């Protein structure tokens, strides 16, 4: 497992990645053109490239300082922001918890860094903060859900909960989720199922000519999103197995984080607009593209997420595009004793990780263990936010008249 590295380079931690659903026209990042000024760069009607603020000596503020805040204080602050944006209390609580949990788990690319984008989307009319998901089609073991352009985090959590409840009766259940905003870290929903004693699967798929941020294997033009896949399995303790990865080498959220920190990317992760390898995050937002993980294998997995997304039944024939979320829960108790299964999984994983580590590696870890270590450390000591992220949150709070902790 790759060790994190810091300084002037991306804080890279292997683990949970995913992309957004296709943004509404007012959405800022990803090369979508703005109709109104963007809150972090005041650019009008051009492709937005968010940039880290600079100190007088020219270095990035994010390289020099962070703002530390406890998880409880950050959660309360985020919830107040969402309430001020006319979000119902229970939805605000759910979205805030999921976002802060991403930061706790060591994946800030899908944490509170995203909130300024959400607030701008709300201001532009691209999100209905009071909308609640609705079932549009249902059988005992399946459901189609319309998120109604509300908070994606709440809609995805609600849909996985629905799948879990159905799986108790049918053994396994799947739910397709349509008309959905960004749902954040997919590992959240895999963990949700594992905590309920189920195996959880969550995928997001987005593809079509000119869509997403990655070219198909052998191609040169964008046609696929980062299209992540997450699987969660209970282990009988507080550290479930959670495999969660984008089908691209890196997710766009990691690029945003690097850009906010004034950092460079590792080589061979992105191409610039002319198809040349680049380490500059700005090149991605200026028409560049992501590379698929594993070449043709990542390409096949990326397409598979799109085909699962097509279960929403909303194929865009005019633009030849598919987008959607699919979640599934498998009730272990329908197959065998759930406690025995979880105990066997932990014993199996322990046998795998009790492997002599390679030079430079402290210990072999199973997926999910790095996130739990991070969660414990940041719960105890606080979450360090890049100063540019903290200031953007404070800017949003000032616009909404929300107290800043």
Q: Do 71 and 99 touch, CB atoms closer than 8 A?
A: no
The residue among 146, 163, 122 whose CA lies nearest residue 314 is: 146
Output the pLDDT for position 250: 86
DSSP string, 91-110: HHHHHHHHHHHHHHTT-GGG
Q: Distance between CA 272 and CA 214 in Å, rounded? A: 11
Q: Distance between CA 130 and CA 81 in Å, rounded? A: 14
Mean pLDDT to the nearest integer, 23-47: 29
pTM over 0.85? The answer is no
Mean pLDDT to the nearest integer, 259-281: 89
Cβ–Cβ contacts within 10 Å for residue 268, how many?
11
What are the contacts of 291-295 at 24+ separation with CB within 8 A?
A: 291/214, 291/248, 291/249, 292/214, 292/215, 292/216, 292/217, 292/224, 292/247, 292/248, 292/249, 293/245, 293/246, 293/247, 293/248, 293/249, 295/217
Q: What are phi and psi of 372, to 5 degrees?
A: -70, -40
If pLDDT is split at 50, 70 and 90, which confidence band does 349 have? very high
Asked if residue 43 has pLDDT above 90, the reply is no
pLDDT digits (tens, 9 = 90+) for 60-102: 444 458 999 999 999 999 999 999 999 999 999 999 999 999 9
Q: Do 248 and 290 touch, CB atoms closer than 8 A?
A: yes
Among the ranges 39-48, 249-258, 366-375, which has the highest mean pLDDT value?
366-375
Q: Do 106 and 85 touch, CB atoms closer than 8 A?
A: no
> Percent of the chain beyond pLDDT 90?
75
Q: Distance between CA 194 and CA 235 in Å, rounded? A: 8
Output the pLDDT for position 64: 54
Asked if residue 150 has pLDDT above 90, the reply is yes
Output the pLDDT for position 27: 30
C-alpha distances out from residue 346 to 102, 237, 335, 339, 353, Å: 24, 8, 18, 11, 10
Mean pLDDT to the nearest integer, 197-216: 96
Q: Distance between CA 227 and CA 217 in Å, rounded? A: 14
Mean pLDDT to the nearest integer, 1-9: 32
Domains for the chain: give ranges and CATH numbers. Answer: 65-130+376-404 (1.10.1530.10), 133-249+291-354 (3.30.1370.60)
Q: Do 103 and 146 touch, CB atoms closer than 8 A?
A: no
């Amino acid at each position: 497992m790759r060790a994190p590295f810091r300084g002037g380079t991306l804080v890279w931690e292997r683990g949970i990645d995913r992309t957004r659903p296709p943004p509404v026209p007012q959405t800022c990042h990803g090369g979508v053109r703005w109709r109104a000024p963007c809150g972090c760069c005041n650019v009008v009607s051009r492709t937005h490239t968010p940039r880290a603020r600079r100190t007088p000596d020219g270095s990035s503020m994010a390289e020099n300082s962070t703002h530390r805040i406890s998880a409880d204080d950050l959660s309360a602050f985020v919830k107040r922001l969402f309430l001020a944006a006319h979000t119902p209390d229970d939805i605000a609580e759910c979205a805030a918890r999921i976002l802060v949990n991403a930061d706790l788990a060591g994946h800030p690319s899908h944490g509170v860094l995203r909130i300024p984008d959400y607030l701008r989307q709300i201001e532009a009319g691209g999100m209905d903060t009071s909308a609640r998901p609705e079932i549009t089609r249902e059988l005992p073991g399946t459901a189609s859900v319309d998120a109604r352009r509300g908070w994606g985090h709440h809609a995805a959590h609600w849909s996985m909960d629905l799948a879990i409840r159905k799986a108790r009766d049918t053994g396994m259940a799947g739910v397709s989720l349509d008309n959905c905003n960004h749902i954040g870290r997919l590992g959240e929903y895999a963990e949700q199922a594992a905590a309920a004693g189920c195996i959880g699967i969550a995928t997001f798929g987005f593809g079509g000519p000119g869509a997403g941020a990655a070219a198909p294997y052998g191609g040169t033009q964008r046609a696929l999103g980062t299209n992540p896949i997450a699987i969660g399995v209970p282990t009988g303790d507080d550290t479930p197995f959670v495999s969660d990865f984008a089908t691209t080498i890196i997710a766009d959220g990691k690029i945003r984080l690097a850009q906010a920190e004034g950092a460079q990317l590792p080589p061979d992760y992105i191409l610039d607009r002319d198809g040349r390898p680049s380490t500059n995050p700005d090149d991605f937002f200026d028409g560049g593209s992501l590379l698929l993980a594993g070449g043709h294998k990542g390409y096949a997995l990326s397409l598979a997420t799109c085909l699962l997304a097509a279960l929403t039944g909303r194929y865009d024939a005019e633009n030849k595009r598919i987008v959607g979320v699919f979640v599934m829960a498998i009730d272990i108790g329908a197959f065998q004793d759930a406690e025995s299964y979880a105990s066997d999984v932990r014993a199996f994983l322990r046998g795998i990780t009790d492997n002599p580590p390679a030079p430079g590696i402290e210990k072999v870890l199973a997926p999910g263990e790095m996130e739990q270590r991070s969660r414990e450390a940041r719960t105890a000591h606080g979450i360090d936010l890049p100063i540019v992220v903290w200031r953007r949150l404070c800017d949003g709070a000032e616009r909404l008249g929300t107290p800043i902790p």
